[in-house]
Copies of this chain bind each other. A is one copy, B any other.
Amino acid sequence: MDENVIVALEKRGVVSATFRKLEPVKKKTIYKVVLAAFAEDIFESVSLEKVALAAGISKGSLIQYFMHKGNLLEFAGGIFLDDYRRHWDNYFMTEYAVRAKDRIANFMAAHLDYWDNAKTEFKFFMKIHYENSADLTKGIRNEFLKLRSGYFSQIIGRGMETGEIRRDMETEFISLLILASLKNLEQIYAAALQTPKTKVDLKDLAAKTVMILFDGIGG
Contacts and interface: CB of A to CB of B under 8 A. Distances in A.
Contacts of A101: 218
Contacts of A150: none
Interface residues of A, number: 41
A181 B188 contact: no
Secondary structure dominating the interface of A: helix
A67 interface: no
- Copies of the protein in its oligomer: 4
A97 interface: no
Contact of A215 (B156, B183, B205, B216): B216
Contacts of A212: 169, 174, 177, 213, 216
Interface stretch (A12-20, A22-30, A128-136): A128-136
A183 B184 CA distance: 10
Given A132-B131, A169-B212, A188 B205 contact: no
A201 to B, nearest CB: 11
A163 B217 CA distance: 11
